[in-house]
């Protein structure tokens, strides 16, 4: 219902954008300030596409303050900050072009950012070239190196159990809640880098076709918490989690999506369901109590 309304709104907005682009193409001047150093051909083409498809949300100055922005939650991205949610690169670094292009193809799930799959690959490359002109960071910094993702480890009840322990230890539950419903004790207090309230992702709401903002596969899930969602309170865990432990966490997170068909849910069900994890929840609580008594916090295992 909610999703349908959002899609309708997006279509309306696109239609409106296309209309205003026609008007703009009719005249010579777009009203856009002439850039200092001139645009490359790709940036020039991207500029035209941007005025047609993006400007009503992301704004003439790329600052996320287009005419539609006040009505949208979350707000459109401010490209002048060059902070992006969906990256293969470490937290704080610029994304690769391929990350931005991936976002344009997918759109941003559960927001007003539409998918631009109908455009051509060249269109998307030109748009990316153009939105990079909004921030000097693209001139002074290089994108980060994509994080390495080792091959997925087998899904087993042991892996899910270890993932459950990591979910406790890394305190994912503080924001996402013990059942992953996005209702942990900190959830209602969170704001993004623009001081807008933001809710943690609700895993329990997922259905078979559900996607995350930054992808839909197990690999994407791995990448999301290892690189963080920049500009939001969702941290990166790359510095505190070993690569294979991260796969255990992926396997556990999939079981929080209780209504979604998955290997992980089959394995958990065969082992007796979520109740079998609860017993280890108590155990890990006892362990961590012993830990804090003994003040022994070792990083590794």
**Position 252 contacts ligand HEC (CB under 6 A):** no
Q: Assess contact for 214 and 86: CB atoms under 8 A.
A: yes
**Position 85 contacts ligand HEC (CB under 6 A):** yes
Distances from the Cα of 33 to the Cα of 29, 43, 47, 78, 136, angstroms: 10, 14, 12, 18, 16
Q: Assess contact for 192 and 198: CB atoms under 8 A.
A: yes
> Which of 21, 51, 94, 108 is in the footprint of ligand HEC by CB under 6 A?
108
**Position 86 contacts ligand HEC (CB under 6 A):** yes
- Phi and psi torsions of 253, nearest 5°: -55, -35
**Position 51 contacts ligand HEC (CB under 6 A):** no
Residue 242 tokens read as 């070993």
**Position 265 contacts ligand HEC (CB under 6 A):** no
**Residue 160 beta carbon to ligand HEC: minimum distance, rounded to whole angstroms:** 14
Which residue's CB is nearer to ligand HEC, number 4 or number 294?
Answer: 4
Q: How many CB atoms lie within 10 A of CB 216?
A: 14
> Which of 45, 47, 51, 74 is in the footprint of ligand HEC by CB under 6 A?
74
Q: What's the residue count for the chain? A: 301
Which residue's CB is nearer to ligand HEC, number 112 or number 267?
Answer: 112
Distances from the Cα of 227 to the Cα of 26, 144, 231, angstroms: 44, 11, 12
**Position 116 contacts ligand HEC (CB under 6 A):** yes
> Which of 24, 186, 262, 287 is in the footprint of ligand HEC by CB under 6 A?
186
Residue 111 tokens read as 């927001």
Q: Which residues contact 208 (CB under 8 A, 6 or more apart)?
A: 259, 260, 261
Rounded CA separation 86/96 (Å): 10
**Residue 114 beta carbon to ligand HEC: minimum distance, rounded to whole angstroms:** 6
User: Can you give the binding site for ligand HEC, defined by CB under 6 A?
Assistant: 10, 13, 17, 53-54, 56-58, 68, 72, 74, 76-77, 84-86, 100, 103-104, 108, 111-114, 116, 127, 131, 170-172, 174-176, 186, 190, 198, 200-201, 212-214, 221, 224-225, 229, 232-235, 237, 249, 253
């Amino acid at each position: 219902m909610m999703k349908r309304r959002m899609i309708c709104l997006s279509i309306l907005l696109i239609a409106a954008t296309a209309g205003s682009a026609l008007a703009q193409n009719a005249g010579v001047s777009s009203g856009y300030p002439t850039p200092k150093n001139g645009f490359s051909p790709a940036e020039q083409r991207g500029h035209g596409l941007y005025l047609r498809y993006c400007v009503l949300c992301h704004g003439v100055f790329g600052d996320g303050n287009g005419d539609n922005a006040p009505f949208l939650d979350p707000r459109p991205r401010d490209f002048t900050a060059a902070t992006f949610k969906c990256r293969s690169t470490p937290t704080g670094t610029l994304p690769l072009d391929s990350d931005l292009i991936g976002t344009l193809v997918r759109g941003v799930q559960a927001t007003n950012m539409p998918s631009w799959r109908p455009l051509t690959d060249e269109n998307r490359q030109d748009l990316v070239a153009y939105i990079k002109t909004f921030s000097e960071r693209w001139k002074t910094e290089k994108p980060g190196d994509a994080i390495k993702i080792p091959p997925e480890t087998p899904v087993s009840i042991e892996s899910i159990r270890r993932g459950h322990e990591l979910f406790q230890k890394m305190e994912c539950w503080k924001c996402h809640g013990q059942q992953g419903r996005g209702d942990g004790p900190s959830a209602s207090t969170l704001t993004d880098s623009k001081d807008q309230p933001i809710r943690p992702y609700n895993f329990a709401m997922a259905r078979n076709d559900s996607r995350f903002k930054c992808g839909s596969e197990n690999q994407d899930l791995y990448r999301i918490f290892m690189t963080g969602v920049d500009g939001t309170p969702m941290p990166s865990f790359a510095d505190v989690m070993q690569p294979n432990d991260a796969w255990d966490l992926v396997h556990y997170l999939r079981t929080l999506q209780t209504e979604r068909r998955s290997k992980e849910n089959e394995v958990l069900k065969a082992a007796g369901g979520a109740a079998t994890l609860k017993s280890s929840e108590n155990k890990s609580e006892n362990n961590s109590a012993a830990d804090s008594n003994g003040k022994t916090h070792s990083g590794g295992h």
